[in-house]
Amino acid sequence: MRSGVQRGAIAVVQVFGLAVWFSVSAVVPTLRQEWGISAAAAVWLTGSVQLGFVAGAVGSSLLNLADRIRPHLLLAVSAALAAGWTLLLAGLVDGMATAIPLRFLTGMCLAGVYPVGMKLMASWAPSRGRGLAMGLLIAALTIGSALPHLIGGLGSLPWRAVLVAAACTGLLGALVAATVVRPGPHLAASAAVHNPRYALTMFTERGPRLANLGYFGHMWELYALWTWIPTFLLASEAGRNLPASTGITVFVTIGIAGAVGCLLGGWGADRYGRSPAAVAALVISGACCVLSPLAFDAGPGVLVVFCVVWGAAVIADSGVFSTSLSEAADPRFVGTALTAQTAIGFALTVVSIQLVPLLAAAVGWRFAFLLLAPGPFVGAIAMGRLGARLAR
């Protein structure tokens, strides 16, 4: 009973704490008009968060913070600080010069929310049920990341009000982390050992290396899709004729479909194995990349169904990689391994997020997502090899 309560509380913290992640991205159209910035400049409102996350994750890995500080306290403080930087942006900022540093700091703090949440969830899940537990965590991440789109899509709120709502949600998540969340019995008792080199030495082990390669291919696609799916929809004639606003459509794609996909992926990982579940999701999402030019010109109904399938597949495997690494890495340094994995993965997202609009400027948004296809297909090959290795 207690494990169920703790898993639920950790998931709630992820939903609330990560609401600030895409809070500014959800209001970019308004900011472009009000601040007079180009699309290329607006990219950095998301890119700076990703870079901040990488910096925070690298620092946390080198210092083994996720393995040396009581994880629920690190989670609470990180969520509160991320919300605080967002509140400051909402209240005082009127341009990119101040917004970018604040978004960078927000990303740094989020490096203490997502990876630490993964470690806490793993601490409450035995190996046989860890896939579904991680699926629940990633489902919470998708809903939290998409929440600002829902807040903005339900009414004509000023952009500052959207940010304040997201920040207040994050503060509530910090409160839950501090008062309810606690580490579970599957947390390694020797986790306080300091070994900053493990962030790199884990790549010398074939199991963690293949799990990481699968994750990196997945990340090449994921955040670029999440960042640019609103623009893709607006550029499509079918997207312009959708019955619901773009914000709500994006929330359904990322939040609802993504959450369902995460739970299905986690269940599949426990039922059929980590590698088969990951390969299935990667192949489906890679196929969606390839088929995206056809969906671009399809009718509104077909486009919505396509986005829902893609939104579910693109995130369904995320918890599988976390589960695989948590089981393959040295149990004393699971937090460090997960944080290093996410640091490198998010560094890749900065590149793909930047390249998609450049390709769109050259060939149009119809073909822009073709750039993402190599990621999931490379990831599928790596996870297939991992599955073959484990089957021996």
Question: Does residue 248 have a pLDDT over 50?
Answer: yes
Residues 6+ apart with CB under 8 A from 382: 210, 211, 213, 214, 217
Give the model's pLDDT for residue 239.
Answer: 58
CA distance 210 to 371: 22
Q: Phi first, then psi: what are they for 243, rounded to 5°?
A: -65, -30
Give the model's pLDDT for residue 297.
Answer: 86
Question: Does residue 339 have a pLDDT over 50?
Answer: yes
Identify residue 219 by its one-letter amino acid code.
M
- DSSP string for 360-386: HHHH-GGGGGGGGTHHHHHHHHHHHHH
Across the chain, what does the average pLDDT equal? 86
Residues 6+ apart with CB under 8 A from 36: none
Q: Are 277 and 269 in contact (CB under 8 A)?
A: yes
**pLDDT, tens digit, 9 for 90 and up, residues 62-95:** 777 877 788 899 999 999 999 999 999 999 988 9
CA distance 60 to 102: 19
Which residue intervals of 197-333 are DSSP H helices? Answer: 198-201, 206-235, 237-240, 246-251, 257-272, 274-296, 300-316, 318-328
b or e along 191-228 (b: 16 or more beta carbons within 10 Å of the residue's beta carbon)?
beeeeeebbeebeeeebbebbbbbbbbbbbbbbbbbbb
More confident residue, 94 or 332: 94
Question: Does residue 167 have a pLDDT over 80?
Answer: yes
State the burial class of residue 94 (Cβ atoms within 10 Å of its Cβ: 0-12, 13-18, 19+). exposed
